[in-house]
Amino acid sequence: MKNTNGKLGVALLGLGKYATEQLAPALQETKYCWLAGIITGSSQKANQFKQKYSIPGENIYNYDNFDSIKDNPAIDIVYVVTPNALHAAFAVRAAKAGKHVICEKPMATTLEDCDRMIDACIQAGVTLSVGYRLHFEPYNQQIIQLATTHKYGYVQKVIARDGIGEVHGWRLNKQLAGGGALMDLGIYCVQAANYLFNMSPIAVTVQKHDNTLDEVEKELTFQLEYPGGFMAECACSYSKKMNYLHAMANNGWFELEPAFGYAGIKGKTSSGDMHFEPVNQQALEMDRIAQAILRDKASPVPGEMGREDIQILLAIYEAMHNGQRVILDPVIQASATTETGGSINGSSFQVQS
């Protein structure tokens, strides 16, 4: 593995809003990785990035010549930040070029694509991580800690809601997005419920859905059912602003609102307010992933975790379409470890007969 000044070189692939406004600035704050290169379909963005971040010309690629990145020792990690359905093809190409991969959420839009990505990274001997930034955010880490140490007893119920006012562009295109509010925002509710219960759901149901957008769902209310009868009540929306996470335990409660944003997260418990200094979530995420690579350790947010979430999202879509409770069967799968040490097991799903 090559690196510069002890830092791994990251190439951002897809210079859209998230890469431009969050990831590239965050890479100016990272200690274990740096913005070494870019892969873009836009020569205008290539020039802007080149100037703004002093990116050497030999580290700038387009989607046609991207595979030659394999010969570039300055790039250790390719971070895929394209529309969801394109993650898999780019991640596989990056792995085949011998680069570690970070892929934005949702990891992919089909389980077949998740498997292709995982297999390609295993074959190439590189790590695959998903951009689950909240695993590195202090308020979310604190509630994971409260939940897994049973500070207020066992978590009995989780309520999670994530919604934004409106969306545009590829997010409304089923082929590129794979789905609507659930794929984009509901995934945070699923993640949160899993890390608070520290378990995988065994069944899902859909209570309400609004499919008034042309191709993807606008709103969805769903329930995740966990072993022991514990429930997560979740809602996601492309028309209502919501950002809330609540955990009810035997002897108290804790909650975040807003819960899932890049900044400004606030938290309280049944015994008082939480206080943490602001952090750059994306910088922490990339640094933790880079540290894991440098130390030859497993990713804290591995592809298997991303795959499990896709299994759950697809089960929720199944429940939405057929109106039935869909059971998720536990399957043998690598378990994913959260930053606070919890274990999230894999599941597959089937429609209850």
CB of 90 to ligand NDP, least distance (A): 8
CB of 249 to ligand NDP, least distance (A): 27
Q: Which stretch binds ligand NDP (CB under 6 A): 10-18, 26-34, 294-302, 325-333?
A: 10-18
CB of 181 to ligand NDP, least distance (A): 12
- Catalytic, out of 105, 139, 152, 317: 105
Relative orientation angle of helices 138-148 and 187-197, to the nearest 10 degrees: 40
Q: Note whether 84 binds ligand NDP by CB under 6 A.
A: yes
Q: Note whether 17 binds ligand NDP by CB under 6 A.
A: yes
Q: Which stretch binds ligand NDP (CB under 6 A): 15-23, 28-36, 154-162, 242-250?
A: 15-23
| 188 annotated active-site | yes
Rounded to the nearest angstrom, the gap between the alpha carbon of residue 266 and the centroid of all alpha carbons in its chain is 21
Question: Is the separation of the CB atoms in 203 and 176 below 8 Å?
Answer: no
* 329 bridge partner residues: 348
* Site track for ligand NDP across 177-206, x = CB under 6 A: -------x----------------------
Contacting ligand NDP within 113-152 (CB under 6 A) = 131, 133
Q: Which stretch binds ligand NDP (CB under 6 A): 37-45, 93-101, 245-253, 295-303?
A: 37-45
Pairwise CA distance, residues 249 & 95, whole Å: 42
| 238 annotated active-site | no
Candidates 30, 59, 72, 82; binder of ligand NDP (CB under 6 A) is 82
Question: Is the separation of the CB atoms in 256 and 233 below 8 Å?
Answer: no
**DSSP, residue by residue, 199-250:** S--SEEEEEEEE--SSSS-SEEEEEEE-GGG-EEEEEEESSS-EEEEEEEET
> Torsion over CA of 194, 200, 202 and 204, rounded to 10 degrees?
30
Q: Note whether 76 binds ligand NDP by CB under 6 A.
A: no
Kindly list the distances between the CA atom of residue 208 and the CA atoms of 6, 15, 29, 295, in Å, as whole numbers in the listed order: 51, 35, 42, 46
With CA atoms as reference, report the closest residue to 162 among 197, 192, 137. Answer: 192
DSSP summary character for residue 7? B
Give the count of alpha carbons within 13 A of 347, CB side only: 26
Tokens at residue 23, please? 């990831």
Question: Is the separation of the CB atoms in 347 and 331 below 8 Å?
Answer: yes
- Catalytic, out of 79, 188, 195, 238: 188
Looking at beta carbons only, is 170 or 244 nearer to ligand NDP? Answer: 170
Looking at beta carbons only, is 163 or 205 nearer to ligand NDP? Answer: 163
Looking at beta carbons only, is 21 or 112 nearer to ligand NDP? Answer: 21
CB of 133 to ligand NDP, least distance (A): 5
Q: Which stretch binds ligand NDP (CB under 6 A): 34-42, 92-100, 230-238, 329-337?
A: 34-42
254: CB partners within 8 A, 6+ apart: 143, 146, 147, 152, 246, 247, 267, 268, 269, 270, 274
Candidates 11, 15, 193, 301; binder of ligand NDP (CB under 6 A) is 15
Q: Note whether 162 binds ligand NDP by CB under 6 A.
A: no
Residue nearest to ligand NDP (CB): 16
Q: 228: phi > 0 → left, psi -120 to 50 → alpha, else beta; which?
A: left
Q: Note whether 48 binds ligand NDP by CB under 6 A.
A: no
Binding site for ligand NDP (CB under 6 A): 14-19, 40-42, 45, 81-84, 86, 104-105, 131, 133, 169-170, 184
Residues labelled as active-site residues? 105, 188
